[in-house]
Amino acid sequence: MYLWKYWRESRVTFAVSLLLVGLMLWIVLKMVLPPRGQALQTTADISLLAGSLLVVPFSFLAWRFGSFGVGRDLGERSGSYLFTRPRRRAFFVWNDWGFGMAQLLAVVVAAYAVIAFGIYRATTDHVVHIAGGAVSMYSIFGLHIVAAMLLTGLIFGLTYLCSVLIRSRGLMLSVGVLLTYSIVKAVIEYRWPGVKLPGLTLTEFNQNPTGNIAFASNLGLSIALRAGVALLFPIAAQWLLQTRDID
């Protein structure tokens, strides 16, 4: 029953996001992809098309989904009634997080599936040549999906935690935290070029000393650390709910 409640709150956003992503992808497929048989030249082409164009809409979607669930109930003063149900508070947090992430995953996979299909039709060589060998285009898109889910999981979890923390103003707090981090990162790297703070998005590829595209160093470790950070937010939200009184 609780999942149905979350679905009622988020279904319009979910449906509209699919429609908007579909429209955006139609435009990309019609106007950006090269003619059939003209191969894309580098991994950067795919990364730009399938990654950069989707960062903003995916981020907004994660921010929106993070505002639903327990944090919204607290803001509407219905949290006290909700927590009278015979369930532990962790139940509500992880149901919100799991269902929200499942909807985000559905949108991300659908978006990349359409782009992959478009590129498959527009190219004759379905492998990407990276330093060290050739990699299947589908493996690259799988990596893009992982990167997108790490970003959306981070924003979703942060927004959810902020909504639990300060209720109706949680949305603005999460945006403020992300903007502040981005500004601080830019200032630090400008003043001290040798200091590199991690970005919000996963760095999947780098240029090696020979000028060729290669997978980023310590990519597996970076993915694991980012996943761990994203999981800290729902854990913190659960702890916060268990230690506070709900009026």
Residue pair 104/149 in contact by the 8 Å Cβ criterion: yes
Structural domain boundaries, residue 117:
2-243
- Residue 246 CB-density burial (10 A; 0-12 exposed, 13-18 middle, 19+ buried): middle
pLDDT above 90 as % of the chain? 25
Q: What is the pLDDT of residues 66-79, one digit of tens each?
A: 888 776 666 555 55
pLDDT score of 93: 85
Q: Give the C-alpha separation, 177 to 113, whole Å.
A: 32
3-state secondary structure of 84: coil
Query: What's the domain count of the chain?
Result: 1
Measured at the CA of 11, the angle between CA 69 and CA 153, to 5 degrees, comes to 55
Residue 110 has pLDDT above 50, yes or no: yes
User: What's the rounded mean pLDDT across residues 102-125?
Assistant: 81
Average pLDDT, the chain: 79
Q: Give the C-alpha separation, 58 to 50, whole Å.
A: 12
Residue pair 96/160 in contact by the 8 Å Cβ criterion: yes
Residue 186 has pLDDT above 80, yes or no: yes
Residue pair 96/70 in contact by the 8 Å Cβ criterion: yes
pLDDT score of 230: 94
Q: Give the C-alpha separation, 177 to 191, whole Å.
A: 21
pLDDT band at 39 (very low <50, low <70, confident <90, very high): very low
Beta bridge partners of 133: 130
- The whole-model pTM stands at 0.85
pLDDT band at 44 (very low <50, low <70, confident <90, very high): very low
Alpha-carbon distance values, 233 to 50, 92, 128, 155, 229 (Å):
27, 14, 35, 9, 7
- Residue 236 CB-density burial (10 A; 0-12 exposed, 13-18 middle, 19+ buried): middle
- Torsion 140-146-147-152 (CA) sign: positive
Residue with tokens 């992808």: 25
User: What's the rounded mean pLDDT across residues 233-247?
Assistant: 80
